[in-house]
Structure 1
């Protein structure tokens, strides 16, 4: 017994030692980096970009610098931020090249909105409904299954009245077919769902049972950029299991950190569709543009 305890204590000590060595090695690597690369690392950290993607980007920048004639000035002098930021921008745009296809398609008939509580699903639906009604000229209808919160139904009903859009309320999966039949003359239907703790896969499965499968339907996961990156990743992972590939981000105006967009794109393959940046309907929302996003993520080289 004593021998076993000694072995376990020894293994714990070895693990602690390995972790300490890794931390020291990491700190030495960071300390050895030129000022421009360290500044980029600090910027990415402030933007809450995940460590794997931050390191991968820095390695890509270092590799390109080393392969150019500017390597001596950029790495040796360590002051050429413009070169570092330029390579980082091009690299990020290449990574995000396939992530600008998330807008509502012209052939789409049903868009489901899912996501945690308090992220702004209902307001986002109103913004997109106004866009599709007023700009695209499509006949829009609303369905809501968010009967857990009476205020949510009332809020969507208010928007429906303002936009002159019909609204159907469903209380169970059995009523979904009836609601779609009532809106059969509509060209585009937005379906709101109840916000739950979607870190729990059971709730994700429950909401998924309400969704209408088919080639003309899409599902947007709605997430707030003010949320914790780890929570957002857990929610995204659960929905990704059910084939959800698109995400609408809200509350950009309430945070300076937007690294979660990059993290979820690279980790879960989630395509950003729209970015909402305020409460005003229908104005405070815009389609995701990789070039605009990368500029916001990196900021100016000499900030």
Structure 2
């Protein structure tokens, strides 16, 4: 995804959740060698979580790095932020992704970016094969109506949403019921209502009047 949307923090939240809540072994990979602070940040998380970290500076060394982590239940790859206008860097990112050959590719978008920017970023990064979207910083979004408009227009599954900086707490799976609850501050009254919300398209959720 673009720069500054919270990719590294989101990776840390997912790693911590897998490690401590689900009891899975986790390996981390970062390709963000352009910002040494990013490597240091993920390195600190890896140390705290007691998981292995591989730094991949070229696409050609991705396969050996993944092989060294092959004993892990889950491998999470953090990529460098890229501008949608930088076609050369986007092609380079695509090379890393092809070598990684991931089971899932998540595009990370910040809900503080504005509707037009989010949709343009989604369009630009679609060429890289993203099949899921993570929406970050819902706690900082100016208007939830904008968030809903973006969700309705994205033809991609919302995998996770983040609602703060706390690791691993401030992350939720991106089901329609959860997103509606987060945006509206509404807890489903009972299990039947939760099931009803989950089965309805997000565009049809009870979101009238949100702005």
Q: How high is the TM-score relative to the length of structure 1?
A: 0.57
Give the 5 Å matches for 1:33-44: none
Question: CA distance change for structure 1 residues 275 and 268 in 2, over 3 Å: closer, same or farther?
Answer: closer
C-alpha distance in 1 between matches for 2:175 and 2:92: 32
C-alpha distance in 2 between matches for 1:175 and 1:284: 33
1:271 aligned to 154, 157, 161, which one? 157
Q: Residue 221 of structure 1 contacts residue 246 of structure 1 at CA under 8 Å; is this kept in 2?
A: yes
Deviation, structure 1 residue 181: 1.5
Higher helix share: 1
SS at match of 2:149: helix
Match of 1:210 in 2: 96
Match of 2:35 in 1: 149
Question: CA distance change for structure 1 residues 233 and 181 in 2, over 3 Å: closer, same or farther?
Answer: same
Structure possessing the higher relative contact order (Cα contacts under 8 Å, 6 or more residues apart): 1
C-alpha distance in 1 between matches for 2:134 and 2:45: 19
In structure 2, list runs of 5 or more residues that go unmatched. 185-205
Give the 5 Å matches for 1:57-68: none
C-alpha distance in 2 between matches for 1:144 and 1:302: 38
Match of 1:252 in 2: 138
Give the 5 Å matches for 1:7-22: none
Q: Residue 146 of structure 1 contacts residue 193 of structure 1 at CA under 8 Å; is this kept in 2?
A: yes
Q: Name the Cα RMSD after superposition.
A: 2.4
1:294 correspondence with 2:180 = yes
1:230 correspondence with 2:116 = yes
In structure 1, list runs of 5 or more residues that go unmatched. 1-114
Match of 1:122 in 2: 8
Match of 2:107 in 1: 221
Q: Residue 245 of structure 1 contacts residue 269 of structure 1 at CA under 8 Å; is this kept in 2?
A: no
Match of 2:203 in 1: none
SS at match of 1:122: helix
C-alpha distance in 2 between matches for 1:271 and 1:279: 23
Aligned length: 189
2:74 aligned to 160, 185, 188, which one? 188
Question: CA distance change for structure 1 residues 285 and 136 in 2, over 3 Å: closer, same or farther?
Answer: same
String of CA shifts for 1:240-299, please: whole Å, max 9, x gaps: 233312111111111242344443444340211111111111101111231343353666
Question: CA distance change for structure 1 residues 228 and 134 in 2, over 3 Å: closer, same or farther?
Answer: same
C-alpha distance in 2 between matches for 1:200 and 1:267: 24
Match of 2:25 in 1: 139
Q: How high is the TM-score relative to the length of structure 2?
A: 0.80
C-alpha distance in 1 between matches for 2:100 and 2:60: 18
C-alpha distance in 2 between matches for 1:132 and 1:212: 24
Match of 1:176 in 2: 62
Q: Residue 199 of structure 1 contacts residue 234 of structure 1 at CA under 8 Å; is this kept in 2?
A: no
Question: CA distance change for structure 1 residues 270 and 116 in 2, over 3 Å: closer, same or farther?
Answer: same
